[in-house]
């Protein structure tokens, strides 16, 4: 029998805690906590993510500042906005929704000071995570770690396999699991024996963006399966990277899509913003 890891419910309980912390911060300092959310262009998935992030801000009492830039904005235009947000004392966190349109370079993100980098994407934050030093941790992998913690799933000494090596999920995920004493394997599109690698996983995290790519023959009996994918299946229905209906029968724990990792990601963004405000106060 498998247990469903209900990210949505865990996220709600963490958001209630954050709401209290934010209220206490405001009472103590007399200041708001501000998060700037920058969206360039009209990517429909990004629009939904940004809307949900702004909604989450309302839920926990963080003041959101939304900046919707036209698709045609220049690199200079984006950089001018980020420079002014970097200097704005009312704003403790800045996030630029990715991916940017192809004519813009991610180099603009370098204008976000490390202290306001609530996505944990900066070179310093990623470097500090690699060194196992205090860092702002990217929200999705951070949310996955929180889910494992909530379910008391042991990581130390376990075989963890991360499928996907992106800078925003796969790499920081592998670092977090390694820092928690797992033996970590990172697989990607050029991995030769993916099935054999996955079969070794006590904890499997998939973040590749391919609908139902992880099938039950790739799963070790009793594994924990974390699905970071957010895809559409052949009928246009939301689904993860994992063939949930078949894979669940072999698992001890599994996350659903939707309602699994997604709500946790946004919750950790709220938490990172609160932590950024605390740091800026001290
Ligand atoms: N695009 C996909 N995931 C993320 C995320 O966690 N943060 C930002 N800023 N953009 C994303």
Cβ 75 vs Cβ 46: under 8 Å: no
Could you tell me the distance, in angstroms and rounded to a whole number, from the CA of residue 177 to the centre of ligand 1?
20
Cβ(121)–Cβ(109) below 8 Å: yes
Ligand 1 contact via 109 beta carbon (within 6 Å): no
Q: Is 119 in the pocket of ligand 1 (CB under 6 A)?
A: yes
Q: Does the C-beta of 140 come closer than 6 Å to ligand 1? A: yes
Is the C-beta atom of 254 inside 6 A of ligand 1?
no
50 within ligand 1 shell (Cβ under 6 A): no
Per the CB < 8 A criterion, the answer to whether 203 and 224 are in contact is: yes
- Return the pLDDT at 282: 82
Report CA(269)–ligand 1 centroid distance (Å).
Answer: 10
pLDDT in tens, the chain (282 residues): 899 999 999 999 999 999 999 999 999 999 999 999 999 999 999 999 999 999 999 999 999 999 999 999 999 999 999 999 999 999 999 999 999 999 999 999 999 999 999 999 999 999 999 999 999 999 999 999 999 999 999 999 999 999 999 999 999 999 999 999 999 999 999 999 999 999 999 999 999 999 999 999 999 999 999 999 999 999 999 999 999 999 999 999 999 999 999 999 999 999 999 999 999 998
Nearest CA owner, ligand 1 atom 4: 98
pLDDT for position 80: 98
Ligand 1 geometric centre to CA of 97 (Å): 5
Q: Of all protein residues, whose CA lies closest to atom 3 belonging to ligand 1?
A: 98
Q: CA distances (Å), 177 to each of 52, 108, 183, 274, in order?
A: 27, 29, 8, 24
Active site residues: 53, 97, 119
């Amino acid at each position: 029998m498998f247990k469903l890891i209900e990210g949505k419910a865990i996220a709600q309980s963490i958001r209630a805690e954050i709401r209290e912390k934010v209220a206490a911060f405001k009472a103590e300092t007399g200041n708001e906590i501000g998060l700037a959310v920058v969206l360039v262009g009209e990517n429909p998935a990004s629009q939904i993510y940004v809307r949900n992030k702004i909604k989450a801000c309302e839920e926990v009492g963080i003041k959101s500042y939304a900046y919707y830039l036209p698709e045609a904005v220049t690199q200079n235009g984006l950089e001018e906005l980020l420079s002014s947000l970097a200097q704005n004392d009312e704003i403790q966190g800045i996030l630029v929704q990715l991916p940017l349109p192809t004519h813009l370079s991610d180099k603009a993100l370098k204008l976000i000071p490390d202290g306001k980098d609530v996505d944990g994407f900066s070179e310093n934050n990623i470097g500090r995570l690699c060194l196992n030093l205090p860092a702002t941790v990217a929200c999705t992998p951070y949310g996955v770690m929180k889910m494992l913690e909530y379910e008391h799933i042991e990581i130390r000494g376990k075989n963890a396999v991360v499928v996907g090596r992106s800078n925003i999920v796969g790499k920081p995920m592998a670092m977090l699991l390694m820092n928690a004493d797992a033996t970590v394997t990172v697989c990607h599109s050029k991995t030769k024996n993916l099935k054999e690698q996955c079969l070794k996983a006590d904890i499997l995290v998939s973040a590749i963006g391919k609908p139902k790519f992880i099938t039950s023959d790739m799963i070790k009996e009793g594994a924990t399966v974390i699905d970071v994918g957010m895809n559409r299946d052949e009928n246009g229905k939301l689904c993860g990277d994992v063939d949930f209906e078949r894979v669940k029968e072999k698992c001890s724990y599994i996350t659903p899509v939707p309602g699994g990792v997604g709500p946790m990601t946004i919750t950790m963004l709220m938490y990172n913003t609160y932590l950024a405000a605390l740091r800026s106060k001290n």
